[in-house]
Every structure is written in structure tokens, then in C-alpha cells.
Structure 1
Amino acid sequence: MNDLGCCAAPAHPATAPRYFGGYRPLVSELSAVCLPEPTAGRLLGSWQWDVPALLLVAVLGGLYGWGAVRVRRRGGSWPPARLAAFALLGLGAIVVTTMSGLAVYDRELFWPAAVQNVGLDLLAPLGLALGDPLRLAVEALPEGGAARVRRALTGRIVRLLTFPLVSTVLVLATELTVYFTPYFDTALRVGWLHELMYLHLLAAGCLFVLPVLTREQALPAWCTHPVRAALVFLDGIVDALPGLVVMTHGTLIAGAWYLHHAPPGSDVHHDQQLGGGAMLGIAELVAIPFLLTVLARWARAERDGTAAMDRRLDAELAAAAVASAVAAPVDAANGTANGAAELVRPWWETEEGEVAERVRRQGPGD
């Protein structure tokens, strides 16, 4: 055994790709080597380069940073909290899932691969969506570019894919397809398909989260804040299903692969149960801040609406008071009491503004 505990001689260091703490075998060489049982130290200290994932992170981060700088140069502002969420939670999750110890061990044990996949499917999209890249694109691009972005958001294909129930089903179908078809097993053996699976999971997760959290109008008008909260709650339940199914599934997922490549002494059945439990736990942990964010925006929208109504009401009352003050001397000179009679009537019966109309519909005591 070598210093990493491999059960066979690894590829020569001159040809094997380097990862922090040792050498990561090529996919074609995985049948010849196995890694030691993962510990907290090995998981935290083992890293490898994933060039496609690194390029994706660089492109997304570069575009987002360019947009934030452009908004500020045009006299606007971009909240640091959105930038932090996009960079740390969104891009950070992509880096950790594809290049950390999870990636080092994803072909030796099932549970690191399961954590990877649910992180790309749920956690990374939430971080990216909290950064609101769609609104940033609209504010950063010239008027023509912003109009094209908004047209794309309202296009038929985008509206179909991001329709709340459709996107929820697509996320669920993606997870089930990965694990219960030859997709995952083949991806373990074929490097480019493994990278494509990463991208597939990330894109599927973004289909639901981005439209719900963006401040652009990316959902139908009936998707009000209460409806969005209900949809997110339902989505949290649906996202838990793949973990439950994997955890209770009697047949091993990619069993032939993991039986051959698991570290000595590993229980692959327990490994799969652990992976399903991790999927379930992460799905629920992601659902909580997602739902809290939607509820917080709902509460903020209600406060803003109430404040706007109060300002409109004050303006209408002030205008009514001025009109009454002007009309009162005229009525007094004519010897009539019509002005006083009008003042006795409630304001919502005499005014024609939006606030008065709303009070008439709801009743003054509501």
C-alpha cells in the first residue's frame, strides 16, 4: 500500500493528475486503485482540479462581477449581500462539490457522489438565485440588451420550462433519472458524461429557484407572494423524495462499480443509505432558507404596500381638505349648508381615489 492506503499501485506520478494530498487516478485507471476510508481530515485536505467546473465558475463569476461594476459606474448600486450570496453560496457550492474531497471520493463511495449531486441540484442554485443575476443583467446591460433579456424571460420555451409545477417535476425527474437509469453508472466510467451530469443537475435546479427569487417578472402574474410561498413549501416536500427513495431502495445504485471500488471493509449498502439520508437532510436544510426568503419578501411587500397606501391616503385627505376649505366660504355666502353636509359624510363615500374605492369594497371596519 502507498501513503494513501491504495490497494494497488497507482498510475505513475508523471502521468496521473495531481490533487492536494496525493494523486487522483484517471477514470480508466480506477479499476487498479482504491482510496482509504474517508475521514474528516482526508475529506477536508483532499482537493483536485476540475477544469470544466473551474471554467464555469470563472465565467459566471466574471460576468457577475462585470455586471456589478457596470451598475455602479452608471450611478446605481448593487447590494453586497447579493454579491456575497452569489459568490460564496452559489459559486462556492460548485467549487466544493466538484473539487473538494467529495469529488476525490465520489467514485469510491456513493455518499460523496450523492452529496455532490444534491449540492449542485439544490444548494448552488439557491446561492446563485439569491444573487439575482437576472435583475443584474437587466440593470447592467444597455437598453436594447435589457429588453432582449426580458423578452427571453417571457418567451414560450422559457415560460414553459420555468412554469412552477413544470420546473418542480423537472428537478424531481432529473434526480430520479440520474440514479434509476444507467445515467449515473455510465457517468462514473465516462469523464465527459460525468461533467455533463454536473451541468444537468445545476441547470435543472436553477429552473425553479431563479424565477421564484428574481425581482424581474419571470413568473405568471398569478404567482403572487402567497402563491410562491406555497410553491416553495411544496417543492421542499418534492425535493425530499429522491433521498427517501435512494435510502430505502433495496437494490444497489451503480452496485457493480461501488462493490469493486469501495475501500476495503466498506459496507456499500450502508453507504447507499447514508447517501440517501444526506440527500434528504440537505434538501430540507436548503428548503428552510428558501422558504424564509420568500416569506420575508412577502412581508416586505405587504409593508411597502401599506406604506404606499398610507401616503396615497394622506395625499387624498389633504386634497379633500383644501377643496372643502375653498368651497366653505362660497356655501356660506350663498346661505347653504351643502358643504357642511358633505363634510359630515365619510370621506370614502365622497372621494373617487383608489384608496377610497378599496375602502368602499372592503368596508371601513375591515
Structure 2
Amino acid sequence: MGSLPELTTGRLFSAWQTDLPALLLVALLGALYCWGVLRLRRRGEHWPTARAAAFALLGLGTLIVATMSALAVYDHVLFWPAAVQNILLDLVAPLGLALGDPLGLALRALPERGAGRVQRVVTGRLMRLFTFPLVSTALVLVTELTVYFTPYFETALRVDWLHDVMYLHLLLAGCLFVVPVLTREEVLPAWCTHPVRAALVFLDGVIDAVPGIVVMTHGTLIAGSWYLHHAPSWSPDVQRDQQLGGGAMISIAELVALPFLLAILAQWARTERAETVALDRRLEAELVPAAPAVEGAGEEADRVRPWWETENSAVAQRIQQQR
């Protein structure tokens, strides 16, 4: 690790390594998603291309970048690549996966029995507890603080399998908040309307910046004994490296909050339009002209007329009678 070449802009884009557990997870998720889309198409049903693209590019793509790019190559010798890795897994990848709506795809593509099982798991008490907005937000915050301010992170740097467990831990913690807010409304409380969800996303963006602020301003080195021992000669001061990592965490957290909020607002607008269309159709059905009472074969059917027509007609009749 100490013999790694200096991390330049070119190596940031060209240095890659294979992480077998992460690669297997990406392959499994991608294969299941493709199976669901193909199953729907065979039945003649449509699945939005934008959702599939978000799942593949922003979701799975972020997983690959976080676990196999230069960030993974250099995370054992520099703190800031590890910090960027973790925030990508905790915030960006869950957003991409949620925009792809894999649970919605599963409920449509699976046979009735399988879809019922998925639905029971998603709406079960335990899942409702973990996806309750305030609980899931707290879990994300506690997860990030636990990673950096307990021996968890430094131990993960020493033990490869625990490093992969940490990856999965961060990903799942992020998904517990993002997925229900964007796609699985049935697991949220009734009061969690779109305006409330927009407020929660704004609040979550503020909270997500807290770990970065703490990391950047913390006087004690995080995993200091590890990075002091493994820092290459070309690396910045370890304290400076930690400050860079904290700053990157804050920047990414704030950048992610904006598209997340925009996705909620777009979803809110679509829901409002759908409700408006449904209301218009119901009103049209309720205001269908009543069937006329037939008094004779040649009699013209009465129809519902606006008040100004009937009022003018009544006035005209009174004038005619006075004459």
C-alpha cells in the first residue's frame, strides 16, 4: 500500500481494482432488475426507461465507483477517498436505486404468491419501524458517526471482510430512508404527505452534513494510527487529509439533497395532476344530463341549462305576459 503511485487526476479516473463481493452484489441486483423488466415486457406491460437508467447508472454505477475505482485503490492510504466512498454508498447509491423503484418492479413482475410475500415483508411491523422517517434519519446519522468515531472504521481497514460488511451497512442504512420516501408510500405514516416528505428531505440534507462537519473539525485523527503508519510520502499531512475528507462529505451531502428534493417535488406534482384528472372525471360522471321524461313522441327533451339562460327566459316570459 505504501508503494502506490501519487494520486493524480489521471489516476483518479484510470486506477481500478476488483472487489469480488461488491461485484457479485452489483451483478445480482442488475440481473434481478433485468429479469423483472423482461418479464413485464413479455406480458406487454411497460416499465419506464428513466427508472431503469437511474437504477443502472446512478444506483449500480455508484456502487461500482465507490467499491472498485481509485477511491477503493487509495482508501487504505488516504482518508479522503474512504470518506467519499462511504458518503457515496450512504447517500448517492440509495438515491439511484430508489429512483429505479426495484420493489415496485418486483411487485409487478413476481407471481401473485411471491408478490404477496414481498408486500408482507415491506409492510411488516419491523420494516415500518425502521423506515419511520425520524427513525431512518437517525439510523443514517448514527451509522456514519459510529463508522468514524468507534474502532469500526480502523478495524475495517485491517480486515477485508469487515470492510465489505461496512459497505453493505452504509448502503442499507441509506436505503431505509430514501426508498420509502420516494417509492413505498404504504409503509409511511398517513401524515407523511408530499409536503411533509419534502420538509423531511430538506431536514435530512442538513443532518447529513453533520458527520462531515464533525470529521472536518475533529481535533483527534480518525483511524490515526493506521493512516500515520500507511501514509505515502507524497500524501498531504494526515490532519489535512482528514479535513479534505470532511469537506468532501459536506459537499456531496448538500449536492445530493437538491436532486432528492427535486424528485419529491416532481412526484408531488404528478400526484396532484393525477388527482385533478380523477376529480374531473368524477365530476363529469356526476353531471351527466338526466334522462328526459317523455310526454309525447314529438316533444323535445329538456336539458340542463345555465342559470343565466333560465333566468333570462323567466324574465322574458313575465314581460310577454304583461303585454
Q: Give me the TM-score of the superposition, normalised by structure 1.
A: 0.79
- Is residue 2:138 matched to residue 1:182? no
- Select the residue among 252, 268, 273 that pairs with 1:303: 273
Distance 1:343 1:80, change over 3 A: closer
Q: Output the CA distance in 1 between the equivalents of 2:29 and 2:65.
A: 16
Paired residues, number: 303
| Aligned twin of 1:251 | 220
Distance in 2 between residues matched to 1:326 and 1:250, nearest whole Å: 88
Q: Is the 8 A contact 1:47 1:100 kept in 2?
A: yes
Which residue in 2 is equivalent to 1:10? Answer: none
Q: Paired residue for 1:277, among 247, 254, 272?
A: 247
* Post-superposition CA distance 1:256-286 (Å, at most 9, x none): 1111211214211111111001001111111
1:289 alignment partner AA? P
Shift of 1:222: 2.2
Where 2:186 maps in the other structure, the secondary structure is coil
The residue aligned with 2:183 is 214
Q: Which amino acid aligns with 2:287?
A: L
SS at match of 1:326: coil
CA distance in 2, matches of 1:220, 1:73: 35
The 5 A counterparts of 1:60-75 are 60-75=29-44
Among all aligned residue pairs of Structure 1 and Structure 2, give the percentage whose two residues are the same amino acid.
Answer: 71
- Pairwise mapping of residues 34-183 of structure 1 onto structure 2 (< 5 A)? 34-183=3-152
Q: Structure with the greater relative contact order (CA < 8 A, sep ≥ 6): 1 or 2?
A: 2
Q: Which runs of 5+ in 1 are unaligned?
A: 1-29, 334-338, 346-366
TM-score w.r.t. structure 2 length? 0.89
The residue identity in structure 1 corresponding to 2:220 is T
Q: Quick one: distance in 2 between partners of 1:51 and 1:107?
A: 17
Q: Is the 8 A contact 1:134 1:216 kept in 2?
A: no
Distance in structure 2 (CA, Å) of the matches to 1:158 and 1:93:
25
Look up the match of 2:312.
none
Partner of 2:293: 326
Structure 2 residue runs without a partner (length 5+): 309-323
Partner of 2:319: none
Note closer, same or farther for the CA distance 1:115–1:87 as it changes in structure 2 (3 Å cut): same
User: Pick from 315, 320, 331: which aligns with 2:285?
Assistant: 315
Counterpart code for 2:239: H
CA distance in 1, matches of 2:177, 2:82: 22
Residue 160 of structure 2 corresponds to which residue in structure 1? Answer: 191
Q: Which residue of 2 aligns with 1:5?
A: none
Q: Distance in 2 between matches of 1:78 and 1:306?
A: 24
